[in-house]
């Protein structure tokens, strides 16, 4: 392996371009090199990357608090997003009012909307024989499903919110983008306050009261939910479809037998997880992987590296759609485990089904090599695909259009 310019074991940096460009190598180096890595950048932090150590931290929220936010060296002015950035008991109380709208049975009911919207997006590019998948399918599909089907927003809001919350572009501009998105979400919440109740997740959030939970926190919560699926679910599309574009045998298997999609999805989620690094603050002295951490220390939990822990996953960098990879940490673990997991699975499963049904043959240009942005989240910047569409009769997904 070519040496890195930076020593990621003792001088880890979330903003280093080598992390984006050589993620597989960095992760392998962490696993081979030390139990816990260190960064002296900014406030300084530990990087916990072994699967068992990450589990230890996520299960112990009293010692590893989320209340200082999920980003290390947070840009000034960046708003806070509950429930991810608060601790129990407030976090548990807030989840209890949101969960009924996102639990498996509620999420399953969105299948028709997912299929229908996937087809609307595909209709817009099918005649072209090519698509920029990230902006035309991977990000808009999950965003549409949460924003309109779950939260009842107008379609007209979608392009603005997608842009504000997309995690694309320089970190320095992100705080302002997020604030812009937040202003728009607040406007929607004020509008809903003045309307009759629809009995949906927004009304439940508007009615939720708890000590220490302000109006800004309510707005932050709806932002967090809106952001939840954009880059995260989007990367599981772009990563998985890039794999299928470059591995025709795997693609043909999923086209021939869509019942294989849910298992393949877990493998795609293990490798193409959108949420790769989440921060915690140490509240009392503790030992992780043999390293002593003190009260006040900052810790980065690398879900992305834990998903490639070689003690758990054989040949961890290999995409193997036959692997039963259900133990991955793409959705985190412990009290903050993703509240949108069931919805994400519904969007991914039926989004893949519709895509593969209508576009069974696709590829990338011979000179294409994906670019990534990596920090707290990781995603593919763009994925231009060329394809051959299936004949029109192939598009009858159980009558849903
Ligand atoms: C494939 C798609 C997704 C991935 C990979 C993902 C990943 C994650 C992860 C790793 C966490 C834990 C954060 C931590 O430990 O601090 C999390 C939390 C969260 N996710 Fe997701 N997520 C996805 C989709 C969604 C969707 C669709 C929504 C919205 C409906 C959503 C909303 C949230 C919220 C609100 C939290 C905070 C939960 C809490 O702290 O109690 N996510 N997500």
pTM of the predicted model, to two decimals? 0.95
Q: What pLDDT, on the 0 to 100 scale, is given for residue 75?
A: 81
Atom of ligand 1 nearest to the CA of 332: 10
Q: Is the peptide bond before 89 cis (omega within 30 degrees of 0)?
A: yes
Residue 277 pairs with which residues in a beta bridge? 302
Q: What pLDDT, on the 0 to 100 scale, is given for residue 311?
A: 95
Q: What pLDDT, on the 0 to 100 scale, is given for residue 223?
A: 94
- Residue by residue, DSSP assigns 167-179 as --S-HHHHHHHHH
CA distance 232 to 377: 8
Q: What pLDDT, on the 0 to 100 scale, is given for residue 230?
A: 78
Q: What pLDDT, on the 0 to 100 scale, is given for residue 394?
A: 62
Ligand 1 centroid to 177 CA: how many Å? 20
Atom of ligand 1 nearest to the CA of 226: 29
Report phi then psi at 80, rounded to 5: -100, 145
CA distance 205 to 215: 10
Burial class (CB in 10 A: 0-12, 13-18, 19+), 77: exposed
CATH number of 17-394: 1.10.630.10
Which two tokens mark 34? 């030390």
Q: Are 390 and 400 in contact (CB under 8 A)?
A: no
Ligand 1 centroid to 335 CA: how many Å? 11
Q: What pLDDT, on the 0 to 100 scale, is given for residue 389?
A: 87
Report phi then psi at 278, rounded to 5: -120, 140
CA distance 280 to 64: 5
User: 3-state DSSP call for residue 38?
Assistant: strand
Torsion of CA 289, 295, 297, 298, to 10 degrees: 90
- Residue by residue, DSSP assigns 284-305 as S-EEETTEEE-TT-EEEEEHHH
Residue 167 pairs with which residues in a beta bridge? none
Which of 85, 204, 340 has the most ligand 1 atoms within 8 A of CB, as the residue to mutate?
Answer: 340
Q: What does the domain layout of the chain look like in residue ranges? A: 17-394
Judging by DSSP bridges, how do beta strands 361-363 and 384-388 pair with one another?
A: antiparallel
Give me Rg for the CA atoms of the chain. Answer: 21
- The pLDDT averaged over each successive group of 10 residues in the chain (401 residues) is 94 94 96 97 97 98 97 85 97 98 97 97 97 95 93 90 76 79 96 97 98 95 89 93 98 98 97 96 98 98 98 96 92 97 98 98 97 92 94 56 36
Cβ of 303 below 6 Å from ligand 1: yes
Cβ of 64 below 6 Å from ligand 1: no
Calculate the alpha carbon distances from 124 to 45, 133, 155, 333 in Å: 45, 12, 16, 38
């Amino acid at each position: 392996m070519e040496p890195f310019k930076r020593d990621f074991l003792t001088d880890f940096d979330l903003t280093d371009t080598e992390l984006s460009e050589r993620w597989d190598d960095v992760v392998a180096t962490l696993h081979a090199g030390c139990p816990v890595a260190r960064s002296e950048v900014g406030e300084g932090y530990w990087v916990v990357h072994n699967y068992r150590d990450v589990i230890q931290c996520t299960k112990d929220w009293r010692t590893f608090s989320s209340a200082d936010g999920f980003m290390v060296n947070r840009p000034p002015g960046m708003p806070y997003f509950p429930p991810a950035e608060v601790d129990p008991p407030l976090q548990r109380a807030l989840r209890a009012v949101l969960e009924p709208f996102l639990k498996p049975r509620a999420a399953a009911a969105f299948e028709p909307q997912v299929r229908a919207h996937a087809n609307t997006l595909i209709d817009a590019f099918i005649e072209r024989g090519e698509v920029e998948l990230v902006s035309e399918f991977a990000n808009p599909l999950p965003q549409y499903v949460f924003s309109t089907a779950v939260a009842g927003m107008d379609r007209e809001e979608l392009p603005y919110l997608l842009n504000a919350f997309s995690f694309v572009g320089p970190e320095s501009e992100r705080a302002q983008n997020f604030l812009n998105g937040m202003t728009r979400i607040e406007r929607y919440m004020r509008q809903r306050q003045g309307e009759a109740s629809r009995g949906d997740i927004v009304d439940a959030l508007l009615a939720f009261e708890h000590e220490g939970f302000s109006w800004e926190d309510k707005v932050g919560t709806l932002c967090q939910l809106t952001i939840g699926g954009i880059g995260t679910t989007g990367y599981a599309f772009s990563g998985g479809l890039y794999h299928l574009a470059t591995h025709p045998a795997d693609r043909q298997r999923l086209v021939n037998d869509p019942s294989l999609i849910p298992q393949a999805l877990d493998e795609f989620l293990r490798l193409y997880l959108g949420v790769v690094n989440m921060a915690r603050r140490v509240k009392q002295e503790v030992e992780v992987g043999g390293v002593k951490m003190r009260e006040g220390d900052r810790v980065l939990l690398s879900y992305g590296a834990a998903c490639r822990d070689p003690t758990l996953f054989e040949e961890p960098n290999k995409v193997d759609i036959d692997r039963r990879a259900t133990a991955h940490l793409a959705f985190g673990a412990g009290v903050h485990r993703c509240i949108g997991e069931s919805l994400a699975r519904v969007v991914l499963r039926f989004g893949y089904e519709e895509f593969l049904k209508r576009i069974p043959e696709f590829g990338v240009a011979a000179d294409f090599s994906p670019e990534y942005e990596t920090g707290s989240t990781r995603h593919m910047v763009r994925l231009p695909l060329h394809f051959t569409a299936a004949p029109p009769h192939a598009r009858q997904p159980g009558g849903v259009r």
